[in-house]
Amino acid sequence: MAALPMVAQPIAGANLRAWYEPLKEGNFKMHTVNQKDSVHVFYRYDTSLFEVRWEKRESYSERSGDPLKDAAMNPERQAITLPVPQKPWLLVALVRNKSDNETSMYFQLIESNYPVDCIISGKSGVILAPYAFVNTPYRITGTAPTLTVFHYASEFPAATAPFSETSPEVDPLLDPDSSFTISNNSTISFPHEGLFLIQSDPNAPRGTPLLVGGTSYPKLSRLEDLAAALVFISTREEYEKLVSAGKDKVKFDKVILDITRDKDRAKNVIRKYFRRVELANLYFSSFKEGWKTDRGMTYVIFGPPEDVARTGSTEIWTYKKIKARFVFNRSASIYDPDNFILQRDKRLMETWYHTIDMWRKNQVASAESN
């Protein structure tokens, strides 16, 4: 295990903005699976660029924790195996960049009722992202001889504006469009896009949700998908025209040109906007595309937050330049155990419309330069 210097800082006081910084998107990833008697934490990082120290902390306010026991570590597999805890605790990863000595903090709450219970593996090993690709083989490892796979083909709505009085909630029990069974440890290819839920026991509130997208995901490549994602910066009439354009690129381009009033401006807006959409999909994909979630919408419009704080079930984003603060509360379900819902506030209306106007005028910086 790497020997990092001690970092005496509570999670509650840390700025976690590195989680969502585009230039650091490949730095560190972590994924947790809870299987009967053991909790498995899979991770990825470039050992030539970073070193990591693992700690066990009892609370978000604890300034430092105990080093993780070597017996739990499997560096070759890039996995940590832990007993199912009697009470929750925090697994903390302190990730140091060897080039600039900057340390970032990542963590996972280790709890007995975390619902994800299947390991999904591809060619390069365990899949850490919450999404997979259509018609691509994956091996599924659960906790029963037979696993049940449910498919939900419905389109989930995009988030509403941060000042809206309503937001689209997800029913805690969705009706699947179809289902099938597979043998444990078997390899399958998902034949359709959409949400899949894999369960070892279909009668238990446990399972592994997986968003299956096209082969370009988290990028959007189909014209109809591009049109749908422009809902945040277009008027209702413009949005209807974009959707009705279907696969007709000439009609699509005309609407974009009408919005931006300039050909070069249109190109720049589309490039920057869909880079943000791609990043939102990378960071926030869940039961629906990342850009459709509350955090995804906020990220697309306002970019990477300057300050990210997490305390328990609350995540707070602060944008100092525009003097805006967004509060997200965890609202877990079997379809997304790490779902966060925005606390909508009418006071954000002016900030929202001002930023939308900046988008339409191509006066918004790229995600990488924010």
- Name the most confidently modeled range: 46-55, 68-77, 341-350: 341-350
pLDDT in tens, 102-130: 899 999 999 999 999 999 999 999 999 99
Q: Could you give the angle at the alpha carbon of 328 between the alpha carbons of 324 and 14, nearest 5°? A: 75
pLDDT in tens, 130-161: 999 999 999 999 999 999 999 998 889 999 99
Would you put residue 95 in left (φ > 0), alpha (ψ -120 to 50) or beta? beta
Sequence ranges of the domains in the chain: 11-110, 119-213, 223-369
Closest CA relative to residue 304, chosen from 10, 16, 14: 16
Mean pLDDT over 22-49 rounds to 88
Q: Is the pLDDT of residue 23 over 80?
A: no
pLDDT in tens, 277-320: 999 999 999 999 999 999 999 999 999 999 999 988 999 999 99
Q: Give the per-residue pLDDT at 1.
A: 45
- The angle, 0 to 180 degrees and rounded to 10, between the axes of the packed helices 349-360 and 263-284 is 130
Just give the CATH number of 11-110: 2.60.40
CA distance 337 to 222: 29
Can you read off the two tokens belonging to residue 170? 């997800």
Answer whether CATH 2.40.128 is correct for domain 119-213.
no
Please report, rounded to a whole number, the percentage of residues in the chain having pLDDT higher than 90. 83
Q: Give the per-residue pLDDT at 152.
A: 94
Q: Is the pLDDT of residue 6 over 60?
A: no
CA distance 79 to 111: 17
Q: Is the pLDDT of residue 37 over 70?
A: yes
Cα separation values, 66 from 59, 207, 225, Å: 12, 31, 47
Residue 67's DSSP bridge partners are: 55
CB 346 within 8 A of CB 163: yes
Reported as a pLDDT band with limits 50, 70 and 90, residue 253 is very high
Can you read off the two tokens belonging to residue 110? 């280790």
Reported as a pLDDT band with limits 50, 70 and 90, residue 8 is confident
Q: Give the per-residue pLDDT at 91.
A: 97
Closest CA relative to residue 269, chosen from 295, 238, 236, 306: 238
- CA 301 from chain centre, in angstroms, equals 16
Q: Report cis status (omega within 30 of 0) of the bond before 22.
A: no
Which H or E run includes 354? Answer: helix 349-360
Can you read off the two tokens belonging to residue 104? 């970032």
Question: 297: Cβ–Cβ under 8 A, 6 or more apart, which residues?
Answer: 158, 159, 162, 232, 280, 291, 342
What does pLDDT average to over the chain?
Answer: 92
CA distance 184 to 82: 22
Q: Is the pLDDT of residue 5 over 80?
A: no
Judged on CB neighbours under 10 Å (0-12, 13-18, 19+), 67 is exposed
Q: Are strands 208-213 and 131-133 parallel, antiparallel or unpaired?
A: parallel
SS3 71: helix
Question: 256: Cβ–Cβ under 8 A, 6 or more apart, which residues?
Answer: 242, 266, 269, 270
pLDDT in tens, 179-230: 999 999 999 999 999 999 999 999 999 999 999 999 999 999 999 999 999 9
Would you put residue 63 in left (φ > 0), alpha (ψ -120 to 50) or beta? alpha
7 φ/ψ angles, rounded to the nearest 5 degrees = -120, 100
Q: Is the pLDDT of residue 2 over 60?
A: no
Same fold across 11-110 and 119-213 = yes
Query: What is the total residue count of the chain?
Result: 370
Tokens 């009418």 -> residue: 346
Q: What is the pTM of this model?
A: 0.94
Reported as a pLDDT band with limits 50, 70 and 90, residue 26 is low
